Homo-oligomer: A and B are copies of this chain.
Amino acid sequence: MPDDSNLATLLVSCPDRKGIVAALAQLLYGHGANILSADQYTDTAVGQFFQRIRFDVSDALTDRVAIGAAIAEVAARLGMNCRLAYGDRIPQVAVFVSRYDHCLHDLLWRHRVGELRCDVRAVIANHPDLEPVASQFNIPFHLIPVTPENKARTEAEQLALLRSLEIDLVVFARYMQIASSTFIAEYPNKIVNIHHSFLPAFVGQKPYHQAHARGVKVIGATAHYVTELLDDGPIISQDVERVSHRDSVDDLVRRGRDLEKVVLARAVRLHLEDRVLVHGSKTVVFD
């Protein structure tokens, strides 16, 4: 992986008005930063401006503190939501799992070969089954069994662990538990879940059974941020595959695994590369 410690990514969202692009470009130029790429999108229906700027500070005339302060000043003036991240700040990730191993296996393999710029700090499970997978990739495995009775206590335990590890992103890799609003509130738009259907079709449990019963000719998978409404969070990525009457539920499950792996990995990658902006119930994805 190339050295990108001096590369910064700035994500911006604010009400649209004239001069935003110029203000930011001028600011960065004034500090001697070099813009490598800039994607911009304005949702004219709601009058909201979105931008992702990637710039290099290797030859900057000032330092990161000065640049950060300048951006904060402009942001305050223009009412911007901003997120600024440098390449040498590696995001810390925790992966929640239950018993299905395909997404976990796939994520850890991708992490190992360098596809995902992050540290995977922990695999957190409510079943012991996937300990060997975590161990095989040398990732600490934390077993926190969940029962209807102990749910509140185990969530507190999970949150304490996440805080102690300074986790930036939580990934639900076919984690078969529903997070409470307390849990979600602590990681707003920072929990990525994979749902094994083409949402909003087949919300809830056993979507492959639902798809088989309906006789659809296409199945899908959806990665989304977790919100309080089940399977209703902002969608980051979706993909689909053609199926036929010949596919049994087991075939759909098998074929769906390939979709789930790819869609979840893509969403995690997009998030880690600061390519996703959430606005209301939807995402802007600069890919």
Does the CB pair A40–B45 fall under 8 Å? no
Does the CB pair B25–A21 fall under 8 Å? yes
| Residues of B with C-beta under 8 A to A44 | 36
| Residues of B with C-beta under 8 A to A282 | 214-215, 245
Tell me if A113 is interfacial: C-beta within 8 Å of chain B.
yes
Given A201-B200, A245-B285, A258 and B254 contact (CB-CB distance below 8 Å): no
Report the nearest B residue to A24, measured CB to CB.
B25
Q: Which 3 A-B pairs have CB atoms at the shortest separation, nearest pair first?
A: A215-B282, A22-B25, A22-B29
| Residues of B with C-beta under 8 A to A109 | 102, 105
Tell me if A235 is interfacial: C-beta within 8 Å of chain B.
yes
Bound together, the chains give a CA A45 to CA B215 distance in angstroms of 14
Q: Residue A37 contacts which of B26, B37, B40 (CB distance < 8 angstroms)?
A: B40
Dominant secondary structure of chain A at its interface with chain B: mixed
Give how many copies assemble into the complex. 4
Does the CB pair B18–A32 fall under 8 Å? yes
| Residues of B with C-beta under 8 A to A115 | 254
Bound together, the chains give a CA A21 to CA B37 distance in angstroms of 9
Tell me if A183 is interfacial: C-beta within 8 Å of chain B.
no
Residues 198-221 of A, flagged 1 when their CB comes within 8 A of B and 0 if not, give: 111110000000000111111010
Tell me if A239 is interfacial: C-beta within 8 Å of chain B.
yes
| Residues of B with C-beta under 8 A to A199 | 201, 214, 216
Interchain residue pairs with CB less than 8 A apart (18): A21-B35, A22-B25, A22-B29, A23-B29, A37-B40, A39-B39, A41-B246, A43-B245, A101-B113, A136-B136, A214-B281, A216-B235, A217-B237, A217-B285, A240-B240, A245-B282, A245-B283, A245-B285
